[in-house]
């Protein structure tokens, strides 16, 4: 039997990169997946890939920072699916820049998507989790939320906030058999890291004991573990997947 047989998972930021990898990994292990992305094109593209694996999929276009949009999306999800077993808060953006030149708009954009988005989706589905007395909530943070990084004050703050959010909600929901954990990826080969110069990538590799950048599938495998029966007694934790970069 597959690890997520007949479970229903919601994955935000599912249109590409880590979110897409998680959606497909969950589907390969028996889950039906609601693919949430900012654009209908991206969400439908991944939903089609999920269906190709023999699972049901729903495509939803929503801005995770928009409370009304998230509420509408959650209502539709529960109406169409009847339940949700797993929520993966993965939607994220970057707007890098030194603090003294960072605009309020760039600060707000990152905090609103990365942290407020996780809050809104978690809140919108929590009542359903509590009612069924089960659920897995997994948020994709970052090692930057653990150690900080010059030029990424907004991103670091959003990911550190996500870790604190995870630990707090884990304490609130533990008595209802709901686990809440976070992943802290290191440098993963996605669209976000594709823009890095070759020189910067070389410098990064010197700091990674495993001497390679991670792949989206590495994060998907970790998410699968946290969603699986094998992680039933793990909550409030941050699983770092970074090739040993942060110890």
Residue 159 dihedral angles phi and psi, to the nearest 5°: -80, -35
Please state, in angstroms and as integers, the Cα–Cα distance from residue 207 to each residue in 64, 180, 198, 203, 238, following that order: 33, 30, 15, 7, 21
Partners of 9 in beta bridges: 33, 86
**What residues are annotated to the active site?**
155
220 vs 211: CA distance, rounded Å: 20
First to last CA, the chain: 35
**DSSP 8-class letter at 86:** E
* Strand duo 32-37 + 86-89: pairing: unpaired
Token pair for residue 167? 């630990």
8 A C-beta contact, residue 13 and residue 37:
yes
8 A C-beta contact, residue 64 and residue 121:
yes
* Among the listed residues 91, 86, 73, 19, the one whose alpha carbon sits nearest the alpha carbon of residue 49: 19
**DSSP 8-class letter at 188:** B
185 vs 211: CA distance, rounded Å: 15
Partners of 185 in beta bridges: 241
Question: Counting Cβ atoms within 10 Å, is residue 155 exposed (0-12), middle (13-18) or buried (19+)?
Answer: buried
């Amino acid at each position: 039997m597959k690890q997520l047989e007949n479970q229903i998972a919601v994955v935000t930021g599912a249109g590409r990169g880590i979110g897409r990898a998680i959606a497909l990994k969950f589907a390969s292990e028996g889950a039906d997946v609601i693919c949430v992305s900012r654009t209908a094109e991206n969400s439908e593209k991944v939903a089609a890939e999920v269906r190709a694996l023999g699972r049901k999929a729903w495509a939803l276009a929503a801005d995770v920072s928009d409370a009304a949009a998230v509420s509408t999306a959650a209502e539709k999800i529960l109406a169409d699916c009847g339940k949700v077993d797993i929520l993966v808060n993965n939607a994220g953006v970057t707007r890098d820049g030194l603090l003294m030149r960072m605009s309020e708009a760039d600060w707000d954009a990152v905090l609103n998507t990365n942290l407020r988005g996780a809050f809104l989706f978690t809140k919108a589905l929590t009542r359903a989790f509590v009612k069924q007395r089960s659920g897995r909530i997994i948020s994709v943070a970052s090692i930057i939320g653990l150690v900080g990084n010059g030029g990424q004050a907004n991103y670091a703050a959003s990911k550190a906030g996500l870790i604190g959010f995870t630990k707090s909600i884990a304490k609130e929901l533990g008595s209802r058999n709901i686990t809440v954990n976070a992943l802290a990826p290191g440098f993963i080969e996605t669209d976000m890291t594709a823009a890095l110069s070759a020189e910067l990538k070389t410098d990064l590799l010197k700091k990674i004991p495993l001497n390679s950048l991670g792949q989206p599938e590495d994060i998907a495998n970790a998410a699968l573990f946290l969603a699986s029966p094998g992680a039933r007694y793990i909550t409030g934790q941050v699983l770092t997947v970074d090739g040993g970069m942060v110890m």
